[in-house]
Chain A
Amino acid sequence: GAGVSQSPSNKVTEKGKDVELRCDPISGHTALYWYRQSLGQGLEFLIYFQGNSAPDKSGLPSDRFSAERTGGSVSTLTIQRTQQEDSAVYLCASSLVHSATNEKLFFGSGTQLSVL
Chain B
Amino acid sequence: RKEVEQDPGPFNVPEGATVAFNCTYSNSASQSFFWYRQDCRKEPKLLMSVYSSGNEDGRFTAQLNRASQYISLLIRDSKLSDSATYLCVVNILHTDKLIFGTGTRLQVFP
Mark A residues whose CB is within 8 Å of B: 33, 35, 41-43, 45, 48, 50, 55-56, 59, 91, 98, 100-105, 107-110
Asked if B97 and A42 make an inter-chain contact with CB atoms under 8 angstroms apart, the answer reads no
Is A56 touching B96 in the complex (CB atoms < 8 A)?
yes
- Contact across chains for B101 and A42 when beta carbons are under 8 A apart: yes
**What is the interface size of chain B, counting residues whose CB is below 8 A from a CB of the partner?**
24
Determine which of A35, A56, A109 lies in contact with B42 in the assembled complex, contact meaning CB atoms within 8 Å.
A109
* Cβ contact within 8 Å between B98 and A42: no
Which one, A45, A101, A108, A110, contacts B98 given CB within 8 A?
A: A45
Of all A-B residue pairs in the complex, the 10 with the closest CB atoms, nearest first, are A42-B102, A107-B43, A43-B100, A48-B96, A100-B91, A56-B96, A42-B100, A45-B97, A104-B46, A101-B32
Q: Can you list 24 A-B pairs, Cβ within 8 angstroms, ordered by A?
A: A33-B98, A35-B100, A41-B102, A42-B4, A42-B101, A42-B103, A45-B97, A45-B100, A48-B96, A55-B96, A56-B95, A56-B96, A56-B97, A59-B97, A91-B44, A98-B96, A100-B93, A101-B31, A104-B46, A105-B98, A108-B43, A109-B42, A109-B43, A110-B43
Residues of A within 8 A of B103 (CB): 42
- A43: which B residues are within 8 A, CB to CB? 44, 87, 100
Nearest CB in chain B: distance from A65 CB, A: 16
Min CB–CB distance B6 → chain A (angstroms): 8
Interchain nearest-CB distance for A6 vs B (Å): 9
Q: Are A100 and B97 in contact (CB under 8 A)?
A: no
Shortest distance from the beta carbon of A30 to any chain B beta carbon, whole Å:
12
Among A42, A102, A110, point to the contact of B49 (Cβ < 8 A).
Answer: A102
Does chain A have a CB within 8 A of B45?
yes
For B51, give the chain A residue with the smallest CB separation. Answer: A101
Contacts of B87 in A (CB 8 A): 42-43
